[in-house]
Amino acid sequence: MNIVSTIKEVRDAVAAWRKEGLTVGLVPTMGFLHEGHQSLIQKAVEENDRVVVSVFVNPTQFGPNEDFEAYPRDLDKDAALCESTGAHLIFHPEPEEMYPDGFCSYINMTELTGALCGKTRPIHFKGVCTVVGKLFNIVTPDKAYFGEKDAQQLAVIRRMVKDLNFGLTIVGCPIIREEDGLAKSSRNTYLNADERKAALVLSKAIFHGKEMVENGEKCADKILNEMKAIINAEPLARIDYVEMVNMDTMDNIDTVAGTTLCAMAVYIGKTRLIDNFIVEM
């Protein structure tokens, strides 16, 4: 496995693979990889001849006073995980490689991005779409792999690929959880012992809401109210949002129907965590 830092090196590697008739998978990440990322890499390795993992903390998706500088980084650990899982190339550029002087071209979606995380992180998806679009153009993968924990991001990327005619397939992969239910996240490392325990209210609320739906409840307000009550009972938790939306449009719904996303963002102390469940009716 090789680690490269320039766009030219990635393109040269992919060009050599294409000459051999090989398929290419891409797993975009911000690094500090865990078992959730590993499951994406594993899936990519199973479905492609060669796999590129990008490790890049993308500055354009962080707003003022967010955790860009503090975001955890450990390239040696990431490289060991990638190599053991079967990846072939890590693309680890500096910000200047991706955004050279004078950079002024962005992908700005007008739908799907204003709801949920977009309400409190208004520039986030502009940065996500731009960096992912650049990675698609640099790597030209056959398939790209994203986790369902970031369900809104997955929906946004799928729409971008459709709207802008990117010639690849987007593969969504299930949420990977700790044994006690907490969704795997690089930001879990921010939590102290008390906060780590308190963070379980997210998965507790998710499991309860999903169980309500499975037992036949379709009223969104009733489900959401019970989920919010679970979270509000935890003193260290502060809700950013808990909402039910149509997965395709991100519009709020009154009744569970079609493909429904129930998503939440909750602050545990100063750490913002997300979780969700998706149901098909």
Q: What are the catalytic residues?
A: 37
* Residue carrying the six token digits 């994406």: 40
Q: CA–CA separation, 201 vs 199, rounded Å?
A: 5
Residues in Cβ contact with 269 at an 8 Å cutoff, skipping those fewer than 6 apart: 191, 192, 195, 198, 236
Q: Which amino acid is at 217?
A: E
State the Cα–Cα distance between residues 204 and 175, nearest whole angstrom: 15
